[in-house]
Amino acid sequence: MAKEKGLVGEGMLISEVVSLYPQTIPVFMEFGLHCIGCSVAASETVGDGARSHGMDGKRLAAFLRALNIAAGEKEVNGGRF
């Protein structure tokens, strides 16, 4: 699978993103993907999850941008800055 530009790509598993970048959890929640802790997250990609929650291409692009912004942030004392 080709890696997209950025830290988080559409083809990454949701569980992989959450494991590597726990600071992205609020972004998943904000965009309506509350499945970060369910069993589907281990086998569903970010793109498939987004589409299954009704995201169109424009909304998916915004979601990926927000995930990558969050993934690039460092955590300080357990919080985002």
How far apart CA 23 and CA 10 sit, in angstroms, is: 17
Q: Which two tokens stand for residue 18?
A: 């959450």
Closest by CA position to 50, among listed 39, 38, 65, 61: 61
User: What string of pLDDT tens digits covers the 81 residues of the chain?
Assistant: 344 467 999 999 999 999 999 999 999 999 999 978 888 899 999 999 999 999 999 999 999 999 999 999 865 444 443
How far apart CA 73 and CA 53 sit, in angstroms, is: 26
Does any domain span residue 4?
no
For the question of whether the overall pTM of this predicted structure is more than 0.95, the answer is no
Does any domain span residue 55?
yes
Does any domain span residue 5?
no
Contacts of 66 by beta carbon, 8 Å cutoff, 6+ apart: 27, 30, 31
Structural domain total, the chain: 1
Q: Which domain holds residue 42?
A: 14-74
